Amino acid sequence: MILSAIEISKRLHVSGCINDRSDDCTSDIPARVCHCTPASACAADKTVHPVQADGLVLIITPFSRECLQPASYDLRVAHDQILPRGACSLVPTLEWVELPVDLAATLRCRSSFGRKGVLIAAGFVDPGFRGQLTLCLVNMGAEEVPLYQNNRVVQMIIHEVKGGNRLYDGSYQDSHGAIHSKARSGT
């Protein structure tokens, strides 16, 4: 089952990523979640953060109502970048994403970028993933494609996982920024 905007919103309310119930669709909601892995890393900022999710709740931060679609959530580009013709570019998302044990996600390029020849590779996110996502974007179009910070470039379609009992624990956990392949040759 694919989660609707209503189900995504319910889960984000539980995690504290949406901290109001207004219908204002224009502004980003301030993040209320700590992205620091070690507990001591947050001590200096004197901010009260919820307990780390540990695979129990959905987190997408910073949340923007503009990004919430009927059956997906649009992920934004973290910084300006040019997609050169005929090349794969690694682009970090603005959002930090945490998927619980009962959710996985598929990433699809938004149609406005697809019409320019932009394709996405490596578009699956396992239950338990935590971090900024690295988008593998390939420009097959005739011209360079500029990306600007906060461009909504990819749709994250969130799926329910029935009977799941394993969380992702791979080498891309807790990623910050664009992460190059960590695969060893021959694997």
Q: Where are the domains of the chain?
A: 5-34+53-160
- pLDDT tens digits, the chain, 187 residues: what are they? 999 999 999 999 988 888 654 433 333 444 444 343 333 233 333 333 344 445 679 999 999 999 999 999 999 999 999 999 999 999 999 999 999 999 999 999 999 999 999 999 988 999 999 999 999 999 999 999 999 999 999 999 999 999 878 888 888 888 888 888 877 666 5
- Cα 76–chain centre separation: 8
> Which two tokens mark 148?
């600007």
Spatial CB neighbours of 157, under 8 Å, sequence gap ≥ 6: 2, 71, 72, 105, 106, 107, 108
Superfamily of domain 5-34+53-160: Deoxyuridine triphosphatase (dUTPase) (2.70.40.10)
The DSSP annotation for 86-97 comes to T-EEEEEEEEEE
